[in-house]
Amino acid sequence: MSNLKIAIQKSGRLSENSRKLLEECGIKISNGANVLKTSAGNFPIEVLFLRDDDIPQYVEQKVADIGILGENMVFEKNKDVEIMEQLGFAHCRLSLAIPKEESFSGPGYFNNKKVATSYPRLLRSYFDANNIEAQIEEISGSVEIAPGIGLADAVCDIVSSGSTLMTNGLREVVTVVKSQAVIISNKNLDKSKQEILSKLLFRVRAVKNAKENKYILLNAPEEAIPAICEILPGMKSPTILPLVEKGWCSLHSVVKEDEFWERINQLKKAGAEGILVIPIEKMIL
Ligand code: PRP
Ligand code: ZN
């Protein structure tokens, strides 16, 4: 049985989290700085370290079977690959930005302007959709310096924290597309590779679910339990255990990470005490 070949970014915004995800899926890969290729000791997978820009093409051509990269690159390269799963990290957006002192009237601002970008396809379709006649200057890196050196009037580039734009005196004015890391796959994997991929996706989903949820424990008087159960739907329904102190119980459940602050206030109001919120390592639904 041949290994599944996965391409991940060699260095950049996605590389650390991509390695981390594989580790959290129980896949141990060695960490050599200049290694281009490594295999995992305990899972039938081979890891290729590549430039994210090249990953869509390599997956289309089966140099790699699958890859981890940003949707931004997948959409821009438009290769014949399939998106299998959104991974919930490396959130960013492709945005248009202009010198911060310029006033912005709307998309029409870009008529007859020159815009530097590494994403010519996505930018062209944005301009076409908005009937804008602008000139696109394709450059492969350091896009943010283009206005400062007189190469372009504006840029269209990836924004994550926004600090690159800020240090270069630029202001984000339009979001062209939003992005996060995804797993892409070649569309014609043989059966044995498909099986490895579904094992990997099963683990990825367990890790993702675990990150999106927290385990919550709390104490409450018995009479508060119905109200508390309304607030905490949990995976099925909360677990309730009696406490030594009469009339009190301990309740265990699962809450969504992004809802839990709001839930915790409701719980306190309903009578909950001693609330503990604990990370979950893996969660299989
Ligand atoms: C993007 C973009 C900026 C930086 C923005 O690069 O080109 O350099 O991220 O991030 P910030 O808003 O947090 O400052 P990316 O990592 O996508 O570049 P790559 O082309 O080298 O892969
Ligand atoms: Zn890149």
The amino acid occupying position 238 is P
Q: Is the CB of 160 under 6 A from ligand 1?
A: yes
CA nearest ligand 1 atom 1, residue: 158
Whether the Cβ atoms of residue 177 and residue 94 lie closer than 8 Å to each other:
yes
Confidence of residue 32 (pLDDT cuts 50, 70, 90): low
Q: Is the CB of 52 under 6 A from ligand 1?
A: yes
Q: Please, what CATH class does the domain formed by 213-279 belong to? A: alpha beta
pLDDT in the model for residue 179: 98
Q: From start to end of the chain, where are the E strands?
A: 4-9, 37-39, 45-50, 66-70, 81-86, 92-99, 114-117, 135-138, 154-159, 170-179, 181-186, 213-221, 239-242, 248-256, 273-279
Residue with token string 């999106």 = 212
> Which of 49, 59, 60 is closest to 9 using CA atoms?
49
Q: Is the CB of 72 under 6 A from ligand 1?
A: no
Same topology for domains 4-88+180-210 and 92-179, yes or no? yes
CA of 43 to the centre of ligand 1 (A): 32
Cα gap 141→118, rounded to integer Å: 7
CA of 74 to the centre of ligand 2 (A): 12
Record the pTM. Answer: 0.89
Q: Which of 9, 11, 13 to mutate to test the pocket of ligand 1 (most atoms within 8 A of CB)?
A: 13
Residue with token string 């899972």 = 43
CA nearest ligand 1 atom 6, residue: 158
- The atom of ligand 1 lying closest to the CA of 160 is 12
Q: Give the mean model confidence (pLDDT) for residues 22-41.
A: 85
> pLDDT averaged over the chain?
94
Q: Give the mean model confidence (pLDDT) for residues 223-237.
A: 83
Residue 236 has pLDDT above 90, yes or no: no
Paired with 239 in beta bridges are: 252
Residue 75 has pLDDT above 80, yes or no: yes
> Which of 214, 248, 219, 218 is closest to 234 using CA atoms?
214
User: What kind of fold does domain 92-179 have according to CATH?
Assistant: D-Maltodextrin-Binding Protein; domain 2 (3.40.190)
CATH dotted code for 4-88+180-210 = 3.40.190.10
- The atom of ligand 1 lying closest to the CA of 12 is 16
Cα gap 186→7, rounded to integer Å: 12
Q: Is the CB of 90 under 6 A from ligand 1?
A: no
Domain boundaries defined on the chain: 4-88+180-210, 92-179, 213-279
Model confidence pLDDT, tens digit, residues 77-123: 999 999 999 999 999 999 999 999 999 999 999 999 999 999 999 99
Q: Is the CB of 163 under 6 A from ligand 1?
A: yes
Q: Where are the alpha helices (DSSP H) in the chain?
A: 15-24, 55-60, 71-77, 120-129, 163-167, 191-212, 225-231, 260-270
Please tell me whether residue 197 adopts helix, strand or coil conformation: helix
Q: What six digits make up the tokens of 271?
A: 């009578």
Confidence of residue 155 (pLDDT cuts 50, 70, 90): very high
Model confidence pLDDT, tens digit, residues 247-271: 999 999 998 888 888 888 899 999 9
Q: Is the CB of 46 under 6 A from ligand 1?
A: no
Residue with token string 């915790």 = 264
The amino acid occupying position 54 is D
Q: Is the CB of 71 under 6 A from ligand 1?
A: no
Q: Indicate the DSSP class of residue 2.
A: P
- The atom of ligand 1 lying closest to the CA of 143 is 7
